[in-house]
Amino acid sequence: MTERDKRILFDFVDACAMHRCPICTLVQRAEQRTLAVYCAEGAGDQQRRADVRAARGLCATHGSQLCDAKDAMAAAVTAYDVLTNLQRDLTALRSNSRGWRRRGIAQPLPCPVCVDMQRYNRAICAGIGVWSNEESLQQALMSSQGICGPHLRTISRQSGVSDGFWSAQFLAWQRLHDELGEFIRKRDDRFRHERQASEADSWKRAWHQISGEVLNDITKE
């Protein structure tokens, strides 16, 4: 077992304390880290710059996260690169405009942050499957909101995931299901006078669990 494998276990247990899917939490932290490192290096990572050029930018989500990273210079030099290439595409298109059949602008490569996160997502899901029999993981999962639907489906395709793991996940979702039922019950006129408790935001948490919080491109296999 490598240090990196153990790290997945510790990070997962830690992320279970948040009120959302622990794997979504880890992927979102990795997204922020990736963009922060890129900005901290002043967009000087030449390989990354080349990948962004080949993708003609970043997807809408990661593009807006780069702007939110508050490093105007890194965002500006990256945008300069990308616009140079977009202009080239446009020039090529115009020079080809009298062709018998216009081919359009070629589809760029996928967003490089999405590609990195897909890889990370697969590694985390595989690591959780390997650690699924660990008691500390099962305890943390049982006390958490649970793993979201998209991530659970990914883990379910692995072999050897322990039954204790599925049982912990079931209990986490059962608690949420009960809270939702309580929320709905208190909407009935007969019970409206009862004060709302922990179930007040259960409908929001339930939708986080149903849809997950990371891009479909990242969770697809």
* Binding positions for Zn ion, 62-121, rule CB under 5 A: 62, 111, 113-114
For Zn ion, the closer CB: 138 or 146: 146
For Zn ion, the closer CB: 32 or 91: 32
Site mask for Zn ion (CB under 5 A), range 24-43, x = bound: x-------------------
CA angle centred on 139, ends 124 and 133, rounded to 5°: 55
**At CB < 8 A and 24+ separation, what contacts does 173-182 make?**
173/146, 173/209, 176/145, 176/146, 176/202, 176/205, 176/206, 176/209, 179/205, 180/206
For 73-101, b/e burial (b = at least 16 CB within 10 A) is ebbeebbebbeebbeeeeeeeeeeeeeee
State yes or no: residue 180 binds Zn ion (CB under 5 A).
no
Nearest to 123 by CA among 218, 201, 14, 13: 218
To Zn ion, the closest distance from the beta carbon of 113 in angstroms equals: 5
Kindly indicate which of the ranges 41-49, 127-135, 176-184, 210-218 contains the residues binding Zn ion, using the contact rule CB under 5 A: 210-218
Give whole-number Cα distances, 172 to 162, 200, 201, in Å: 16, 17, 16
Name the 3-class secondary structure at 211: helix
For Zn ion, the closer CB: 60 or 92: 60
To Zn ion, the closest distance from the beta carbon of 150 in angstroms equals: 6
Q: Which of 9, 21, 66, 155 binds Zn ion (CB under 5 A)?
A: 21
To Zn ion, the closest distance from the beta carbon of 183 in angstroms equals: 22
To Zn ion, the closest distance from the beta carbon of 187 in angstroms equals: 28
* Binding positions for Zn ion, 118-157, rule CB under 5 A: 148, 151
Q: In which region does residue 160 sit, left (phi positive, over 0), alpha (psi from -120 to 50) or beta (all else)?
A: left
Name the 3-class secondary structure at 96: coil
Site size for Zn ion, by CB under 5 A?
Answer: 11
To Zn ion, the closest distance from the beta carbon of 44 in angstroms equals: 21
- Report the interface residues with Zn ion, using CB under 5 A: 21, 23-24, 59, 62, 111, 113-114, 148, 151, 212
